[in-house]
């Protein structure tokens, strides 16, 4: 359930973001925790509690490690830390593919148990009925086409999409399907730049790029990538706006030195009885 603080807030709505098609680019980041959500909230339009949380915070090899319970726990934390941004929760693999009814039940649970503003699911033509069932029930949906991390095992790795005429046709059809099913926006991930630009030109809903094109109506990055906290491989499409890896490592070295030298805690950090 949404907390009192989040319920009383005035958030950017999916409909408002949808109306920004072709306007000022929509600023999106992922967030998974309360403190990071609080820090990002004043500066972004949309926070995605991505299923990337399974990799970024829980150390899974792929996003297939995400569960409904994991998404709900992190969704609740992000909702507590935000008043302004539109908060979208990823539907984890296995929670929507089997049927429109299953997809709707999962989406409704994510909304009911977190109070988030919308859900996101991966796929195009193959999930059109799932998206339609969810939007038909009045729940806002963000689509996700192009490279779909939940399909990484099926695809045999993280493969950039749109390199052949057939792949371009598939992407264009996926974008159209997602739009027709009623999504308010769609993520385009890991595609050849001209295809993402063309989808953006043709679509009537905003496209949010990641490894896609500067022409998209908005951009998203995984927050740990953007702040330089990612400890494994940093993908080519990431720009690091800070280098928290170094900051954290230096702080740990300094702390360890202080503890070993009994320089911490100092007099200012300890409690002495009065008198």
Residues annotated as catalytic (active site), given as ranges: 189
Q: In this complex, which beta carbon is closest to ligand KIV, that of residue 52 or of residue 191?
A: 52
Retrieve residue 261's tokens: 């030298």
- Judged by CB under 6 A, the number of residues near ligand KIV is 13
Q: Which of residues 63-82 bind ligand KIV (CB under 6 A)?
A: 63
CB 225 to ligand KIV: min, Å: 9
Q: What residues does 191 pair with on adjacent strands?
A: 161
Told to check if 90 binds ligand KIV by CB under 6 A, we report yes
Q: Nearer to ligand KIV by C-beta: 29 or 111?
A: 29
Residue 52 sits in the site that holds ligand KIV (CB under 6 A): yes
Q: Which residues are 30's β-sheet partners? A: 48
Q: Note whether 113 binds ligand KIV by CB under 6 A.
A: no
Q: How far apart are CA 130 and CA 100, in angstroms?
A: 4
- When asked if residue 30 is in the footprint of ligand KIV (CB under 6 A), the reply is yes
CB of 244 to ligand KIV, least distance (A): 18
Q: Does 213 bind ligand KIV (CB under 6 A)?
A: no
- The secondary structure element, H or E, covering residue 169 is helix 165-180
Question: Is 50 a residue that touches ligand KIV (CB under 6 A)?
Answer: yes
**Binding string, residues 157-196; x marks residues near ligand KIV by CB under 6 A:** ------------------------------x-x-------
Q: Does 220 bind ligand KIV (CB under 6 A)?
A: yes
User: What are the C-alpha distances in Å from 154 to residues 48, 149, 172?
Assistant: 24, 10, 21
Of 45 and 51, which CB lies nearer to ligand KIV in the complex structure?
51
Verify cis geometry, omega within 30 degrees of 0, for the bond prior to 265. Answer: yes
Q: Does 87 bind ligand KIV (CB under 6 A)?
A: no
Write the DSSP assignment of 210-252 as a string of letters.
ESS-TTSSEEEE-HHHHTT---SPPPTT---S--HHHHHHHHH
Please list the helix, strand and coil fractions of the chain in percent, rounded to the nearest 5, in that order: 45, 15, 40
Contact between residue 205 and residue 179 where contact means Cβ atoms under 8 Å apart: yes
CA distance 11 to 85: 6
Residue 85, CB half-sphere, CA atoms under 13 Å: how many? Answer: 28
The CB-nearest residue to ligand KIV is 50
224 binds ligand KIV (CB under 6 A): no
Region from 47-55, 174-182, 239-247, 255-263 binding ligand KIV, contact rule CB under 6 A: 47-55
Interface residues with ligand KIV (CB under 6 A)? 30, 48, 50-52, 63, 90, 144, 187, 189, 210, 220, 222
């Amino acid at each position: 359930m949404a907390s009192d603080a989040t319920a009383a807030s005035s958030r950017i709505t999916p409909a408002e973001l949808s109306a920004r098609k072709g306007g000022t680019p929509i600023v999106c980041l992922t967030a998974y925790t309360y403190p990071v959500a609080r820090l990002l909230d004043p500066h972004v339009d949309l926070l995605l509690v991505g299923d990337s949380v399974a990799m970024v915070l829980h150390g899974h090899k792929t996003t297939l490690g995400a569960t409904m319970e994991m998404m709900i726990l992190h969704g609740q934390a992000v909702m507590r830390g935000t008043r302004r941004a539109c908060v979208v929760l990823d539907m984890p693999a296995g929670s929507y593919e089997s049927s429109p009814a299953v997809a709707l039940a999962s989406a409704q649970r994510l909304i009911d148990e977190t109070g988030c503003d919308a859900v996101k699911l991966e796929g195009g033509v193959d999930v059109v009925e799932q998206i339609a069932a969810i939007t038909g029930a009045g729940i806002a949906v963000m689509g996700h086409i192009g490279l779909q991390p939940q399909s990484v095992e099926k695809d045999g790795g993280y493969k950039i999409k749109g390199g052949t005429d057939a792949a371009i046709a598939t992407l264009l059809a996926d974008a159209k399907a997602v739009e027709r099913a009623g999504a308010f926006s769609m993520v385009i991930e890991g595609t050849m730049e001209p295809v993402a630009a063309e989808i953006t030109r043709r679509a009537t809903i905003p496209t949010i790029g990641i490894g896609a094109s500067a022409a998209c109506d908005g951009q998203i990055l995984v927050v740990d990538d953007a702040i330089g906290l990612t400890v494994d491989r940093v993908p080519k499409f990431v720009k690091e706006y800070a280098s928290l890896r170094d900051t954290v490592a230096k702080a740990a070295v300094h702390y360890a030195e202080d503890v070993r030298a009994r320089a911490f805690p100092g007099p200012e950090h300890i409690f002495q009885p009065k008198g």
